[in-house]
Amino acid sequence: MAILPEYHRAETLSQALDLLADPRLRRLPLAGGTHLVPALETRQRRDVDGVVDLAGLDLSFIERDGHYLRVGAMTTLTDLVQHPVCASFAGGILPRTARFEGPQNLCNAATVGGLIALAEPDSELFAALLALDAAIVSLTRDEVETVQSFEDYISGQSQPTCRADLITEMRLSLVQFESGHARIARTPMDRCIVAAIAIEFPNGGSTQAPSVSRGAVRIGLCGVGTRPLLSGSELNPPDDFKGSAEYRLTMSEIVRKRALACMSGDQL
């Protein structure tokens, strides 16, 4: 059992932000707890003074809002997999990749916001969101809402000094994306060694970022860095029991081509 000096269950976003921003104590947000709780129980994390439970906040939702799909940060991966809008969006790429995040019990608890914050290197759903050019909505410690591109939020390029923020939702453009997905893993349901998600942006459709040209293709890659990356980025794959760095580099090019072929309806 995790032993902590403090546990807080926030009743409002303002309360959660105040607790997280307190410079005297190292408090972390608690969403699904699928990673934080085991790390606390095994004492892998010894730098945490307390947690702020977000379960009481109204941050679990999936809804259409004009031309956007809004997904609350506390939405579970199971909710994402089962939602009918997600099933039809971009060829079903969200539920298709979410299923590989872990077993059913984990997906029942793990949240979209937690997945984004963790940015695990082999997260295929994260790579799909990156390729889809998702927008991240967050609140700063001063309760200012910001909307950033997925890349900017994760890298911290837009607001490098503001990391005591809280993810509240993500947004995706509801346009007719074409998608392709390819992966290599030890078994069909294992987390991937490498994977690729290809997304083609439609001509004339709106996107989160004007910098993404219409008809462009973005490819998210897993297993080739400390977090999923876009194809064209500098790759620095790990060298571990799943595969050597050289193997991952070679296989990443293969899954990239397979994902493009899948997106185009071809077979390799």
pLDDT tens-place string over residues 174-187 = 988 999 999 999 99
Please state the rounded mean pLDDT for residues 187-206. 86
C-beta neighbour count of 249 within 10 angstroms: 16
Residue 84: pLDDT band (50, 70, 90) is very high
Q: What is the pLDDT of residues 249-258, one digit of tens each?
A: 999 999 999 9
Q: Map out the domains of the chain as residue ranges.
A: 6-53, 62-264
Which percentage of the chain shows pLDDT scores above 70? 90
pLDDT of 49: 84
- pTM for this model (two decimals): 0.90
Residue 22: pLDDT band (50, 70, 90) is confident
Please report, to the nearest 10 degrees, the dihedral formed by the alpha carbons of residues 116, 118, 121, 123 taken in order: -50
pLDDT of 164: 58
Residue 220: pLDDT band (50, 70, 90) is very high
Residue 107: pLDDT band (50, 70, 90) is very high
Same fold for the pair 6-53 and 62-264: no
Residue 64 in this model has a pLDDT that exceeds 90: yes
Put residue 72 in one of left, alpha, beta given phi > 0 → left and psi -120 to 50 → alpha.
beta
Q: What is the pLDDT of residues 31-53, one digit of tens each?
A: 988 878 777 777 778 888 888 99
Angle (nearest 5°) at CA 56 between 53 and 60: 105
pLDDT of 40: 76
Residue 197: which residues within 8 A CB-CB, separation 6 or more?
93, 97, 124, 127, 128, 131, 179, 180, 181, 219, 220, 259
Please state the rounded mean pLDDT for residues 194-220. 75
6-53 fold: 3.30.43
Residue 216 in this model has a pLDDT that exceeds 50: yes
pLDDT of 205: 46
Could you say which architecture CATH assigns to the domain 62-264? Answer: 2-Layer Sandwich (3.30)
Please state the rounded mean pLDDT for residues 3-11. 85
